[in-house]
Amino acid sequence: MNEIVVIGSINADLVFVSKKRPKAGETLIGEEFLTIPGGKGANQAVAAAKLGAKVAMIGCVGNDIYGKKMIENFNINGVDASRIKELSISTGVAGIMVDNEDNSIVVIPGANQRVDCNLIDEHIDTILGSKIVVLQLEIPMETVEYVINICSKHNIQTILNPAPASKLSENIIEKVTYITPNEHEAVEIFGESNIERLLERYPNKLIVTQGEKGVIFNDGYQTRTVPSNKVKVVDTTGAGDTFNGAFAICKIENKSLIEAVKYANKAAAISITKYGAQGGMPSKAEVERWK
């Protein structure tokens, strides 16, 4: 049985490394170009697998060179890829511009748009046999809501990482177990700029990552802040995905919310000390060794 099921996007990340980002109409000579497995769903699946969980990925790729590479990468990283559907369209692609300490991303969804309710029905037994299901918003919203309704009915925990930010229905907000936006996504999704007031509305559900300021949530009594771990930043790509994969593991291990956030925050900090979303994700041993 797979403890964690991730339903979401699978992309090939085309990474452009430069000392600064070009302005409109400007051409720059960059430092490096990399082709790396990515997609928020795939990243979160690999993050959890690297940390020791049994993980199954449900998603779609194209019948092209990128799709084959992505499936091969899942196999290398210990993610069960047997439920990934190959289609006669292009695999999703993300163009990532990395400068000194940050990144900008443009995503072409491709096959990710075909992660629909019919695909979910094909793999319903896998979903119902899991301990937690992890979702993001790089697949159709209809599918996300469909999965959350199923999991809520069968008392299966769910994590929704609402990126890229989009308005969520009250049904999703009510039925999902955890929502994990960054602070900018939280403001856009909920229309509330006061984060602490927003957290009070969704205690023990809404967990907001704030980069170097740490992670913040409300435990039903007070606002709790888990400070960031100070590291030398190399590439922030995939930090949020590492956080979500690590957080999922803690919840299937029945750790408290504060324990889960601390562990996930540590894993995310390690991930930004190396290039690449999945390449920077730590193993369980790395997190345990890290002080």
> pLDDT tens, 243-281?
999 999 999 999 999 999 999 999 988 887 776 778 788
Residue with tokens 């491709």: 110
pLDDT at 51: 94
Eight-class DSSP state of 227 = P
> pLDDT tens, 125-184?
999 999 999 999 999 999 999 999 999 999 999 999 999 999 999 999 999 999 999 999
Cα angle 69, 72, 78; round to 5: 140
> pLDDT tens, 61-88?
999 999 999 999 999 999 999 999 999 9
Chain centroid offset of residue 117 CA:
20
Alpha-carbon Rg of the chain, whole angstroms?
18
Q: Does the bond joining 181 to the residue before it have cis omega, within 30 degrees of 0?
A: no
Three-state DSSP class for residue 284: helix
Q: Just list the catalytic residues.
A: 241
- pLDDT band for 98, please (50, 70, 90 cuts): confident
- pLDDT band for 25, please (50, 70, 90 cuts): very high
More confident residue, 43 or 95: 43
Q: Which tokens sit at 5?
A: 């099921």
Residue of 104, 100, 105, 103 whose CA lies nearest to 233: 100
Query: Going by DSSP bridges, is the β-strand pair 215-218/223-226 parallel, antiparallel, or unpaired?
Result: antiparallel
Has residue 235 got a pLDDT over 80? no
Eight-class DSSP state of 180 = -
Domains annotated for the chain, with CATH where assigned, are 4-18+33-282 (3.40.1190.20)
Residue of 237, 191, 231, 184 whose CA lies nearest to 209: 184
